[in-house]
Amino acid sequence: MTQVALAERLEISASYLNLIEHGRRPLTAPLLIKLAGVLDLDLRSFAPEGDAQVVEDLMEAFGDGVFDGHDLTASDVKDFAAQSPRIARAVLALYEGYRDSAASVRALADRVSSDQEVPGLASWRLPSEEVSDLIQRNTNYFPELEAAAEALWVEAELDLDDLYGGLVRHLKRRLGVRVEIARQGDETRALRRYDPDRRRLALSELLPTAGRNFQLAHQIGLLAHSEMLDRIAADAHLSADASRALCRVAMANYFAGAVLMPYDKVLEAAQVLRYDVENIESRFQASFEQVCHRLTTLRRPGREGIPFHFLKVDIAGNISKRFSASGIAFARFSGACPRWNLVAAFLTPGKIRSQLSIMPDGSTYFCIARTVLKGAGGFRAQHSVHAITLGCDVQQARKMIYADGVALNNPDAAVPIGVTCRLCERTDCEQRVFPAIVQPLDIRENVRGFSFYAPPPED
């Protein structure tokens, strides 16, 4: 669109629009709203995501009991982050250091009390946290890995109907690696073991088809694109060797997912099938978790999928994987809200549950959640159960088949949720287990509310 054409639709002069574009006139709120209507833009896309994330992290940090009695409000935190962003990030780093130190002290005390040998103290930040932050900064999209995966399909002449055979042949012909299936009891219980001296890759017979294909592609990524993985892992925010090693593994996983589900093919399938995860599973011979992961990576400019958020927790509520492109906030230092369908998914294993939810600030999201079973083996094998949620802003929900029949425009149909108890302002929640940072603990001997930390209103 030319400058003149845009000016006409905004009902202003072209010269005035030129001054705005060159920063010599302000873009007023009424004009911004009109611009959003003309160009079909979401006004929230203009918000500084980095600043918003800092505010969310600060709110969670200040929700720690160590700050009780300081009467901090959300406005205080927002003003602080806006006026002193560098100091705000420094405070976050200080709080993370405090958390890690406290955890190290607890671990040290446990070991001393058990008469065990005392190891070195923990590093300031967990490698998993640093890698999660790297993925979030890159919006979970790594174009060089996508290009490498697409090149592999051409070079290896891969076929979706015989992906396993094509990957095995490529490993043998191009990389000189022989693939074998390890029988249970032959060696250790590793699902994948690569011997660089013998150029042998052993895959456990316990792996399903999706798992075997994924591990083959993962090994190709490690061998054929090691320098690319090193470049990504050289990110300045990764502070330790363990973080960089974990980043290489995470990026090799990303590459493997891109190989199993090529970008254009999986985006087309997602749009045609309306993001029916289980149908996409069947088409690409992938697992439920692999498909959910892949759907969050569809961020190619001009060819984007739905901006999803993704969360994975175990039955104890520990968060092992998290990513958000939808704008929803996740807890960094504590567990998730028990009202999320992610938690309820454990009550109906293997069944997809959908939920329309609303945050305290009024933002509304649509999510699906399902449990996944981890582990392989026979009768005596140990298995672990995790729950995965995949969700988006309510404005994107109609693109998903799971939203059919859901009253997305009815706020009364949404489940009120929060980030964590300490940050949530809701006082009518029967599942609250901590007092809210904005609501001091109010003990009344003669009155019982929804919970001990949620007193009823005054008579």
Does pLDDT of 174 surpass 70? Answer: yes
Q: Single out the residue in 403, 418, 433 at which a domain terminates.
A: 418
pLDDT tens digits along 360-394:
888 999 999 999 988 666 666 778 899 999 999 99
Q: Distance between the two ends of the chain, CA-based, in angstroms?
A: 61
Q: Which of 70-74, 81-85, 97-101, 307-311 has the highest mean pLDDT?
A: 307-311
Are residues 21 and 95 both part of a single domain? no
Per DSSP bridges, beta strands 200-204 and 178-182 are: parallel
pLDDT at 64: 76
The model's pLDDT over 119-158, given as tens digits with 9 standing for 90+, comes to 444 445 688 889 999 999 999 999 999 999 999 999 999 9
Which position has the higher pLDDT, 127 or 63? 127
Half-sphere exposure of 25 (CA within 13 A, CB side): 15
Q: How confident is the model at residue 61 (pLDDT cuts 50, 70, 90)?
A: confident
Same-domain check for residues 286 and 400: no
- Does residue 152 contact residue 173 with C-beta atoms inside 8 Å? no
Q: Say yes or no to pLDDT of 449 above 70.
A: no
Same-domain pairing of 282 and 147: yes
Looking at the structure, do residues 211 and 173 belong to the same domain, yes or no? Answer: yes
pLDDT for the residue numbered 123: 46
Reported for 70-76, long-range contacts at CB under 8 A and 24+ positions apart, including other chains, are 72/437, 73/438, 74/438
- Percent of the chain exceeding pLDDT 90 equals 51
Same domain, 201 and 288: yes
Band (pLDDT 50/70/90 cuts) for residue 63 is confident
pLDDT at 185 over 70: no
- Residues 53 and 17 occupy one common structural domain: no
Average pLDDT over residues 334-355: 90
The pLDDT mean for the chain works out to 86
The CATH number covering residue 324 comes to 3.30.450
* Sheet order of strands, 178-182 included: 178-182, 200-204, 192-195
Domain limits at 434? Answer: 425-459
266 and 405 in a single domain? The answer is no
Give the domain-ending residue among 279, 304, 329: 304
For residue 117, what pLDDT is reported? 45
pLDDT exceeds cutoff 90 at 35: no
Written as six digits, the tokens of 134 are 């790297």
**Can you tell me the distance from the alpha carbon of 108 to that of 111, in angstroms, rounded to the nearest whole number?**
5
Question: Would the pLDDT of 95 be above 60?
Answer: yes
Q: What would the pLDDT profile of 97-118 be if each residue is shown by its tens digit? A: 887 777 666 555 544 444 444 4
Neighbours of 131 (CB within 10 A): 24
Mean pLDDT to the nearest integer, 62-75? 77
Is the separation of the CB atoms in 436 and 427 below 8 Å? Answer: yes
Question: Same structural domain for residues 12 and 113?
Answer: no
Q: Which helix (H) or strand (E) holds 296?
A: helix 288-296
- Between CA 128 and CA 136 the distance in angstroms is 12
Q: Could you tell me which residue, 213 or 456, shows the higher pLDDT? A: 213
Split into its structural domains, the chain has a count of: 5
Question: How far apart are the C-alpha atoms of 414 and 364, rounded to whole Å?
Answer: 8
Burial class (CB in 10 A: 0-12, 13-18, 19+), 145: buried
Distance of CA 427 to the CA centre of its chain: 28
287 with 333, same domain: the answer is no
pLDDT at 18: 83
Q: Which of 102, 124, 146 is the last residue of a domain?
A: 124
CATH number at residue 210: 1.10.10.2910
- Domain identity same for 245 and 271: yes
Regarding whether 261 and 169 lie in a shared domain, the answer is: yes
- Answer yes or no: do 145 and 237 share one domain: yes
For residue 312, the model assigns a pLDDT of 94
Give me the pLDDT at residue 125, please: 66
Torsions phi, psi of 183, nearest 5? Answer: -75, 150
Is the pLDDT at 221 greater than 70, yes or no? Answer: yes
The better pLDDT of the pair 239, 401 is held by 401
Span of 45-59, 207-221, 365-379, 409-423 with lowest mean pLDDT: 45-59
Tell me the three-class secondary structure of 243-282, residue by residue.
HHHHHHHHHHHHHHHHHHCCHHHHHHHHHHCCCCHHHHHH
Distances (CA, A) of 191 to 201, 253, 290: 10, 15, 17
